[in-house]
Amino acid sequence: EDQVTQSPEALRLQEGESSSLNCSYTVSGLRGLFWYRQDPGKGPEFLFTLYSAGEEKEKERLKATLTKKESFLHITAPKPEDSATYLCAVRHIKAAGNKLTFGGGTRVLVKP
Amino acid sequence: GAGVSQSPSNKVTEKGKDVELRCDPISGHTALYWYRQSLGQGLEFLIYFQGNSAPDKSGLPSDRFSAERTGGSVSTLTIQRTQQEDSAVYLCASSLGGQGTYNSPLHFGNGTRLTVT
């Protein structure tokens, strides 16, 4: 059974204090790892897709990396507007359509 | 519309009543998904529709839950005889579907917050 575990559950940062979020997964055949951002009262918003170990994607202060067992979301010099819950999800090679299995998320709070 | 639209945004119902939740996907997206997000929990897959194919219902938690998609567009999730444990945010997502689109990202609506009293 596919499992996705995110850590830490919550992260409090000072503005400008860089940090990393972890997403570890056990999937027998990975066909994509996805990162989403979710603001309170909103649906998840797509950030990145990573396909293979060694791949990296960047968007503003966010950088996602992938190994064979885990992915990291690095937040560089965060700002208060980066406060959100960050969700990681995987797609199994045999999953129907683009069905995703999600982790529990990491709640990030960036204080000014 | 520009994004996935869900209605109502909030629904309060009494235990034992039936509820219907609606999802209007992004135009041109043939794949549609329902997920459930309980307080402090991750997203739980419920059901997936792709075009005219039979839906993947493997995530529906009980036979009180059903969903349909009419005309390959709008979808309705129905929960019969609601229970307190059904209280959650129900999220709908859509994506491109079919050959060559297997990693098309899911685009989510803002969900329906269901409270069963």
More confident position, B50 or A109: A109
Domain that holds residue B89: 5-9+18-101
Compare all CA atoms of chain A with the CA of B4 and give the residue at the minimum distance: A43
Q: Domain holding B52: CATH number?
A: 2.60.40.10
Strand partners, B7: B22
Question: Which of A24-33, B12-21, B41-50 ranks highest by mean pLDDT?
Answer: B12-21
Instruction: Parse chain A into domains and list their residue ranges.
Output: 3-107
Q: Which one-letter amino acid corresponds to residue A72?
A: F
Compute the distance between CA of residue B62 and CA of residue A82 in angstroms, rounded to an integer: 38
More confident position, B99 or A73: A73
* DSSP structural state of residue B96: -
Assess whether pLDDT exceeds 70 at residue B100. no
More confident position, B83 or A92: B83
Assess whether pLDDT exceeds 60 at residue B50. yes
- Please report whether residue B58 resides in a domain: yes
Residue B87 has a CB neighbour count (10 Å cut-off) of 16
Enumerate the residues of chain A whose CB falls inside 8 A of the CB of residue B45. 99-101
Does B102 reach chain A within 8 Å, measured CB to CB? yes
Domain count, chain B: 1
Peptide bond into B8 cis (omega under 30): yes
- Judge: B42–A102 Cβ closer than 8 Å, yes or no: yes
Q: How far is CA A88 from CA A50, A95, B110, in A?
A: 11, 16, 18
In the block, tokens 């208060």 appear at A80
Assess whether pLDDT exceeds 80 at residue B15. yes
| CATH superfamily entry for domain A3-107 | Immunoglobulins (2.60.40.10)
Beta strands in chain A (DSSP E): 3-7, 10-14, 19-26, 30-38, 45-50, 56-59, 62-66, 70-75, 84-92, 101-102, 106-111
Number of H helices, E strands in chain B: 0, 10
- Please report whether residue B52 resides in a domain: yes
Q: What is the mean pLDDT of chain B?
A: 92
In the block, tokens 């998904």 appear at B33
More confident position, B99 or A86: A86
Enumerate the residues of chain A whose CB falls inside 8 A of the CB of residue B4. 43
- Please report whether residue B94 resides in a domain: yes
Per-residue pLDDT of chain A (112 residues; tens, 9 = 90+): 778 999 999 999 999 999 999 999 998 788 899 999 999 999 999 999 999 999 999 999 999 999 999 999 999 999 999 999 999 999 887 776 778 899 999 999 999 9
- Please report whether residue B45 resides in a domain: yes
Across the interface, of B4, B56, B107, the residue whose CB is closest to A96 is B56
- Judge: A34–B93 Cβ closer than 8 Å, yes or no: no
